[in-house]
Amino acid sequence: MVAALAVALALGLLAGAWSAGFFWSWSFTVMPGFAAAAPEAAVAAMRAVNANIVGPGFGFVFFGPAVLAALSAALAFAAGSGAAAWPALASAAVYAAGVIGVTFAANIPLNNALAAASSAPEMAAEVWRAFAEPWTAWNHLRTAAATLAFLALALAAAEALRG
């Protein structure tokens, strides 16, 4: 049980760190970089990313933190370590609501609207403006949630080591 908990926590921390970094890089590097490009290029680049992002690596980084934190919580509860289980459970809940929930409620609909928007070059600035500001604001929330979830899972790991 202890070995399984250690593996779940380690993999959860890895997925959580990658996830927080992924969302952070979009908020503070990728989106400002796209904004500095011509609107037609920004729209085309974002459409290309959205069309190609889904895969096993993304699945681990996107869903892994919640799944592995929940698994860590279950294993910690089973091992009698409530001190590790509760922050792991909080990590799973924060990540599920603040990353997965926000993605499906806000970012994916914005991605779908961008995909369906006019491709006419004269519309690109308007299309980008309507997309980029709300998408980035929601991504800031995902960044904060992923970071908080990582910190909560780190606390769970510290408690598990203490126990």
Average pLDDT score over the chain: 96
The CB-side HSE value for 138 (13 A sphere, CA atoms) comes to: 18
Instruction: Please give the angle made by the CA atoms of 132, 39 and 135, to the nearest 5 degrees.
Output: 10
pTM of the model: 0.94
Contact between residue 91 and residue 131 where contact means Cβ atoms under 8 Å apart? no
Confidence of residue 2 (pLDDT cuts 50, 70, 90): confident
Tens of pLDDT, residues 58-92? 999 999 999 999 999 999 999 999 999 999 999 99
**Per-domain residue ranges for the chain?**
2-162
Contact between residue 99 and residue 63 where contact means Cβ atoms under 8 Å apart? no
Tens of pLDDT, residues 105-149? 999 999 999 999 998 999 999 999 999 999 999 999 999 999 999
Query: 163 pLDDT exceeds 90?
Result: no
